[in-house]
């Protein structure tokens, strides 16, 4: 059984950053967990800290369902779960100086140098933290990889925006997840890093303001439609590829399957192209598609119309 009251879908909201006071119905401090796994920590944390609003990020639907069940068993009323890349969500969904604490328990370390860009703790992440955390707000990291804790330590220090405390080895904790218990049983060391914000940084956001529905219209050359399949378009930090094109049988409409990227944030969605009148066509997001309206998504709509004209 699922409990949808715990899942928040920001892509359906009209304005960013999100208005958390309206979402929770109060102005309690915001605490954010990046990667909540099966929800063990979330269930514990929201029960112990009932005077805070908890927001958790994950990329797994299975994790969302498991966490919902644990929260429901506790009748939690101060938690929201989001299925989204945590780096994107932290930057886009929260206003400047709005979060009291960010928690990250045992993230995937991405060992290989070729995977380094996938690590959350890169320099850009600490710039985002320096934006969204309140003054003296904290970031807490737990990991079983000492090198990972040290890399996070150095990146936080180099940002110049944080008081960075010494890495603590095998810290005493009131609550242990089953994975922690397993690691400790096998004498695996745990490392804890805490940093406190002391300086503001303003980062650029992709989707600030009103979340408008992108569309474009005009005359087109229908013969060009089939030529777009597989085309890749690039402009600065924006990229999109048209993976496939489908023709509706009962109308003169076409569906484009698109993948776009804004830097390291990718989205899959559909665009619909249909004939408005004898001369003009319209292209817009399909009603079943709800990507975040990033620059790449908006550009894909306008660019396709431009190429077809």
**73 labelled ligand-binding:** no
How many angstroms separate the CA atoms of 295 and 237, rounded?
Answer: 9
Q: What is the DSSP letter of 7?
A: B
Q: What tokens appear for 300 in the block?
A: 């894909």
**58 labelled ligand-binding:** yes
Q: From residue 33, how far is each of 41, 46, 167, 187, 273 by CA, in Å?
A: 9, 11, 20, 26, 40
Angle at 48 between CA 186 and CA 195, to 5 degrees: 65
Direct distance between the N- and C-terminal alpha carbons of the chain, in angstroms, rounded to an integer = 50
**178 labelled ligand-binding:** yes
How many angstroms separate the CA atoms of 195 and 197, rounded?
Answer: 7
Q: From residue 157, how far is each of 154, 191, 198, 224 by CA, in Å?
A: 5, 17, 11, 53
Q: From residue 128, how far is each of 118, 151, 282 by CA, in Å?
A: 16, 17, 37
**33 labelled ligand-binding:** yes
Give the position of tokens 């484009």.
256
Collapsed DSSP state (helix, strand, coil) of residue 209: strand
Question: Which residues on neighbouring strands pair with residue 158, listed in sequence order?
Answer: none
Q: What tokens appear for 299 in the block?
A: 């550009």
- Nearest to residue 290, comparing CAs of 92, 58, 10? 10
**135 labelled ligand-binding:** no
Question: Which residues on neighbouring strands pair with residue 72, listed in sequence order?
Answer: none
State the binding site: 33, 58, 85, 112, 144, 177-180
Give the residue ranges of the annotated binding site for substrate. Answer: 112, 144, 177-180
**Binding-site annotation: residue ranges for S-adenosyl-L-methionine:** 33, 58, 85
């Amino acid at each position: 059984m699922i409990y949808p009251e715990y899942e928040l879908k920001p892509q359906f909201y009209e304005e960013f950053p999100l208005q958390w006071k309206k979402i929770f119905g109060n102005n309690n401090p915001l605490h954010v967990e990046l990667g909540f796994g099966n929800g063990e920590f979330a269930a514990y944390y929201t029960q112990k800290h009932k005077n805070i609003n908890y927001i958790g990020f994950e990329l797994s639907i299975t994790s969302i369902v498991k966490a919902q069940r644990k929260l429901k068993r506790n009748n939690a009323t101060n938690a929201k779960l989001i299925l989204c890349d945590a780096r994107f969500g932290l930057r886009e969904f929260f206003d400047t100086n709005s979060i009291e604490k960010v928690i990250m328990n045992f993230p995937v370390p991405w060992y290989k140098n070729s995977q380094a860009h996938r690590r959350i703790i890169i320099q850009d992440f600490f710039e985002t933290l320096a934006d969204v955390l309140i003054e003296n707000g904290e970031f807490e990291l737990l990991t079983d990889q000492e090198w990972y804790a040290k890399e996070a330590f150095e990146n936080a220090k180099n940002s110049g925006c944080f008081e960075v405390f010494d890495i603590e080895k095998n810290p005493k904790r009131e609550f242990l997840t089953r994975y922690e218990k397993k690691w400790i049983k096998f004498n695996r060391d745990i490392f804890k890093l805490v940093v406190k914000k002391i300086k503001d940084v303003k980062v650029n956001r992709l989707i600030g303001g009103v979340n408008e529905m992108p569309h474009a219209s005009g005359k087109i050359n229908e013969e060009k439609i089939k030529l777009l399949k597989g085309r890749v378009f690039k402009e600065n930090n924006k990229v999109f590829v048209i993976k496939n094109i489908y023709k509706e049988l009962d109308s003169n409409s076409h569906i484009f399957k698109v993948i776009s990227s804004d830097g390291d944030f990718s989205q899959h969605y559909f665009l619909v192209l249909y004939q408005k009148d004898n001369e003009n066509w319209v292209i817009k997001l399909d009603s079943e598609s709800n990507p975040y309206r990033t620059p790449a998504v908006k550009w894909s709509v306008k660019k396709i119309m431009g190429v077809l004209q």
